[in-house]
Structure 1
Amino acid sequence: MVSQDKVRNKLLALLPDHAFAALAEALEYVELPRAHVFSSPDLPAEHAYFIESGIGSIVAITPQGQRSEVGIFGPEGMSPASIVLDTASTPYSVFMQIPGYGYRIATDALHRAIAQSDALRHLLSRYAYALSVQTSYTGLSNSVHHIDERLARWILMCHDRTPGDQIALTHEFLSVMLAVRRSSVTTALHVLEGKHLVYSERNLITVRDRPALELFAGDAYGVPEREYVRLIGAMR
């Protein structure tokens, strides 16, 4: 059985003892390689996942196949959050972008645990709301901010969910995150590198100056993060 004092997932760690006990027997440790699928568009999810390390990606896809990332989650959250809202499926593709590991629980088992524990339902509902704020502000940022600021925002969000300063982000992933061409990602990275905010090499970005990166991102970053802290607590 999973021991609560050993978990790194923020939501699992915050649960009262009795609420965690309602989940523990049904939690299963899993490795989460890159591209591991959590849920597919319009199909019911069989499991919910609580990530211990790595980053998951929530991507909207047009009928023509164009993709844009609308949200990310890591050890601060769970997926798919639609399960918490008693919704069987969503139009999103949700998958692992930066590999890691975590715990999964069958959807039916999570529903039973939520029905038995007000504390669990309350915490997961707050997380689902915090994630909705993040996706809303992604849409806002895509509309009003320059690509350089949007890139800074996404790097900060990934940095929030990464233990160190190095983040394994490919240019292809960044182009999906920002819904732009890879050449535009390269240009934006050069801007951030020129300001000594990050260092970029093949498939790896290193954050060099976090405070200056936040200053550069301006109001593109911060509101969803403050909501998460207000509702749940510090991300790390």
Structure 2
Amino acid sequence: MVRNNLLRLMSADSFGRLRDQLELVDLPRAFELSKPNEACPFAYFPEAGIASIVARSPEGQQTEIGVIGRDGMTPASLVLDAGQDPYSIFMQVQGEAYRIPCEAFQKILEEDRILHAFLARYAQSLLVQSAYTALSNAVHHIDERLARWILMCHDRTDGNEISLTHEFLSIMLAVRRPSVTTALHMLEGKKLIYSERGVIIVRDRVALEAFAHDVYGECEKEYERLIGTPP
């Protein structure tokens, strides 16, 4: 009955340990799943919606370094026994998730080494995603970066509509809003997407992947190698 891929693919014994303490909750847009440098009260396994991992500089500059949907869980710092991390993790597209108190979750991880190893592989896949995001930000044009980001959101969304504003895209891609508008118009001109008020509609997934070229696909392959077929 669950849609989260980690809950689906973990062993029946491991899921049984978690099941009684999982609570399904709604996650509105902008809801903060964990705050920088603070221990979080809950671990979340998203069923729907998209969360962003956002890094901020001391002067307030910010950019997205990771995307989490029904493919994963958050915060991965719990799996790594790090306690907390310096990032903000919040919902960019509203949804819902199963949550479990962190104290109970960590106790289960200590007792279930198979589950711990499985989720550690997910943490590795998230690190790979962040690495390829850094690479893309450094060497790829905004048009290609936007195409990659749309594809990653599409992977984690039902249907072809993604609710996103230009302002939010500019934060996620660390560019000015006019650059986002220009890039969206370019993808629209190639008939890859439609862009309406606060909504991006994927029109041609195959052609969008072809346009993204080597910007998209490597971290997705690593996820499949480490975890299994994505949802």
- Fold match (TM-score > 0.5): yes
Q: Which digits, 9 at most, give the CA deviation of each residue in 1:162-199, with x for residues without a partner?
A: 11111111111111111001110000000000000000
The answer to whether the aligner puts 1:66 opposite 2:46 as a matched pair is no
Map 1:15-34 → 2, pairs under 5 A: 15-34=10-29
* Partner Cα separation in structure 1 for residue 148 and residue 99 of structure 2: 29
Map of 1:130-209 to 2, 5 A cutoff?
130-209=125-204
Match of 1:115 in 2: 110
Picking from 79, 88, 95, the partner of 1:93 is: 88
Q: CA RMSD in A?
A: 0.8
- 1-structure distance, mates of 2:169, 2:191: 19
Relative to the length of structure 2, the TM-score reads 0.98
Equivalent residues, number: 231
Q: How far off its partner does 1:118 sit? A: 2.2
Partner of 1:43: 38
User: CA separation in 1, counterparts of 2:69 and 2:189?
Assistant: 29
In structure 1, stretches of 5+ residues that fail to align are 1-5
1:117-167 per-residue CA deviation (whole Å, 9 max, x = no partner) reads 122112110100000000011011000000000000000000000111111
Q: Secondary structure at the match of 1:99?
A: strand
Residues in 2 aligned to 1:225 and 1:55: alpha-carbon distance in whole angstroms: 16
Per-residue CA deviations over 1:1-41 (Å, capped at 9, x if unaligned) read: xxxxx111000111211111111111111110011111111
Distance 1:218 1:16 in 2: 35
1:3 corresponding residue in structure 2:
none
Long gaps (5+) in structure 2: none
> SS in structure 2 opposite 1:22?
helix
Instruction: Tell me the residue number matched to 1:102.
Output: 97
Q: TM-score, normalised by structure 1?
A: 0.96
Q: Which runs of 4+ in 1 moved over 2 A?
A: none
Secondary structure, counterpart of 1:88 in structure 2 = coil
Is it true that 1:235 corresponds to 2:230 in the alignment? yes
Give the aligned residue type for 1:234.
T
Identity among equivalent pairs (%): 58
1:206 corresponds to which letter in structure 2? I
Deviations 1:205-227 (A, max 9, x none): 01111111011111111110000
- Alignment-derived partner of residue 71 in structure 2: 76
Aligned partners of 1:84 and 1:91: how far apart in 2?
A: 16
Q: Letter of the aligned partner of 2:35 in structure 1?
A: S
Q: Which amino acid aligns with 1:200?
A: S
Per-residue Cα deviation, 1:44-87 (whole angstroms, up to 9, x for no partner): 11111000000001000011111100001100100011110011
Partner residue in 2 for 1:220: 215
